[in-house]
Amino acid sequence: MTVNITLPHDNSYDIFIDELKDLYFDRKVVIVTNPTVSGFHLEYLKSKLKARELSICTIPDGEEYKNMETIESILAHCFTNRLDRKSLLIAFGGGVIGDMTGFASSIYQRGIDFVQIPTTLLSQVDASVGGKTGINNKFGKNLVGTFHQPIAVYIDPSMLKTLPKREFGAGVAEIVKMAVTFNKDFFEWLESHDLNDEKNIQIAIAKSVETKANVVSQDEKELGIRAALNYGHTFGHVIENETNYNTYLHGEAVSIGMCMANALAVKLGFMSKDEELRVNKLLEKYDIPTTYKIKNVEDFYEHFFLDKKSLDNKIKFILPIGIGDCKITNEITKDDVIEILKGF
């Protein structure tokens, strides 16, 4: 299956969802990866890949290394290997690898090409589409970065066989997100199909990628509808930040965030209690967390304002309207939010 991402300014590219085919690049190539991914899959990738000159840049595994220091180590590898403006970086790993490789490629010599080969379900369905790159810092998550589109994305679902169950669930959370906000039929399909089946997961990846691609094509720089993809993220980012990014996987935090958004939507009459429970049930089917014990509700609320989605000191919430539609609003009162937070 191939999904084309249509973007202005010659930024269009294809996403191939299939067993990896033979790739040839007549230029210097650096594969950016981490020890975990390379242990499982690097030999497989190398068996498929030919390049004029190939080197491997291995960075530590984990969200805690998603910072400027690691970016500088990737850049240093590129300079040491004398990459030029025609060279290529390949992001080979999960979302962290993808975001950082994308960012490094966007600032190396003012921007070179990169390719994504995402190896986790989360990065396959989410990070591989959209061109968002970035790193975390002490002020929050993904606050520094660029928009830089890959020239191609290769998704090989067979790589998911080695993915830990929790990480698989984190990816499913993003699939559920896409269905709840944009596609009721897809949500119902998810309720009746098991994503542990290899054929089903391939279909679900393609469906998610298509849905996201459609949104991103309309709004590459997130000036409007693309913000809806942050459903669950307004809350999720605070949860990740409060827990120092070491308790929940990104998709797990988003899952809890969706449940918080849903509770708010139910309170405001946008969603029925029954629909809220259906979403919970689907998430719990894959053992994805749906609750989080908030220590201090006021602190939690205050944290929103460090999130970049808050313009003019108003917090932007993405709330589902039933299942398959959503609204973006910054008109939610603090009292309503606080009440929902207290319920968690």
- Shortest Å distance, C-beta 338 to a copy of itself: 21
d(CA 45, CA 24): 12
222 included as an active-site residue: yes
Q: Which backbone phi and psi does 32 adopt, to 5 degrees? A: -100, 125
Q: Which is nearer to a copy of itself, 137 or 243 (CB)?
A: 137
166 included as an active-site residue: no
Q: Is the CB of residue 142 less than 8 Å from the CB of residue 307?
A: no
Q: Is the CB of residue 234 less than 8 Å from the CB of residue 317?
A: yes
Q: Is the CB of residue 34 less than 8 Å from the CB of residue 58?
A: yes
9 included as an active-site residue: no
CA atoms within 13 A on the CB side of 142: 23
237 included as an active-site residue: yes
**Catalytic pick from 9, 21, 82, 110?**
110
188 included as an active-site residue: no
**Catalytic pick from 77, 132, 148, 309?**
132
**Catalytic pick from 167, 210, 220, 222?**
222
Q: Is the CB of residue 113 less than 8 Å from the CB of residue 142?
A: no
For residue 71, with 0-12 CB atoms within 10 Å meaning exposed, 13-18 middle and 19 or more buried, which class applies?
buried
Q: Which is nearer to a copy of itself, 80 or 247 (CB)?
A: 80
Q: How far is CA 232 from CA 75, 285, 309, in A?
A: 33, 18, 12
Residue 165 assigned ligand-binding role: no
Q: Which is nearer to a copy of itself, 86 or 184 (CB)?
A: 86
193 included as an active-site residue: no
- Shortest Å distance, C-beta 139 to a copy of itself: 4
Q: Which is nearer to a copy of itself, 87 or 202 (CB)?
A: 87
- Shortest Å distance, C-beta 335 to a copy of itself: 23
CA atoms within 13 A on the CB side of 227: 17
- Shortest Å distance, C-beta 137 to a copy of itself: 7
Residue 62 assigned ligand-binding role: yes
278 included as an active-site residue: no
Residue 316 assigned ligand-binding role: no
226 included as an active-site residue: yes
**Catalytic pick from 28, 177, 207, 250?**
250
Based on its alpha-carbon atoms, the radius of gyration of the chain, rounded to whole angstroms, reads: 20
d(CA 97, CA 58): 10
Q: Given the rule CB under 8 A, which residues bind a copy of itself?
A: 8-9, 68, 72, 75-76, 79, 82, 84-86, 103, 106-111, 132-134, 137, 139-140, 143-147, 305-306, 308, 310-313
- Shortest Å distance, C-beta 343 to a copy of itself: 29
Other CB atoms within 10 A of residue 298 CB:
11
Let me know how long the chain is. Answer: 344
Q: Which is nearer to a copy of itself, 200 or 310 (CB)?
A: 310
Residue 242 assigned ligand-binding role: no
Residue 64 assigned ligand-binding role: yes
303 included as an active-site residue: no
Cβ neighbours for 38, distance < 8 A, ≥ 6 positions apart = 56, 58, 92
Residues noted as catalytic:
110, 132, 174, 212, 222, 226, 230, 233, 237, 250
Annotated binding site for Zn(2+): 174, 233, 250
